[in-house]
Amino acid sequence: MALDPDMWLGCFEDGKLVGVLVGTHESRKGWLNRLAVLPEHQGKGFGKAMVLEMERRLRAKGLGIFAVLIEDGHDASLRLFKEAGYEEHEGMHYLRKRDSPDI
């Protein structure tokens, strides 16, 4: 499987990687995954900037629906995405299957 470099975002300060975001899509809906900013660099706008840049890249590929899964307790992330216009989707179940408890 070929990786699409457009879908891998990093933000840098003084040449050091301080934040990441990985996008994926299946041609209809874009997913924003693995958003994280190093604790000492949080609150400077990196997270929001990466979300908006990933949306821009997904739009450029023709996608107009964006989605994210946020675990309970990740309040900063929840607030960031709500401020960026994301809404909670009622009537959806999150299911998963693991081949091993270690992965």
Q: Which residues bind ligand COA (CB under 6 A)?
A: 35-37, 42-48, 68, 70, 74-77, 79-80, 83
**Angle in degrees, CA 6, 81, 92, rounded to 5:** 95
Residue 35 or 63 with smaller CB distance to ligand COA: 35
Could you tell me the smallest distance in angstroms from the CB atom of residue 28 to ligand COA? Answer: 21
Could you tell me the smallest distance in angstroms from the CB atom of residue 96 to ligand COA? Answer: 15
C-alpha to C-alpha distance for 47 and 32, rounded to whole angstroms? 12
What SS3 class is residue 17?
Answer: strand
Residue 63 or 80 with smaller CB distance to ligand COA: 80
Q: How far is CA 14 from the centre of its chain?
A: 23
Could you tell me the smallest distance in angstroms from the CB atom of residue 36 to ligand COA? Answer: 4
Please name the amino acid found at residue 68. Answer: V
DSSP β-bridge partners for residue 67:
31
Residue 67 or 70 with smaller CB distance to ligand COA: 70
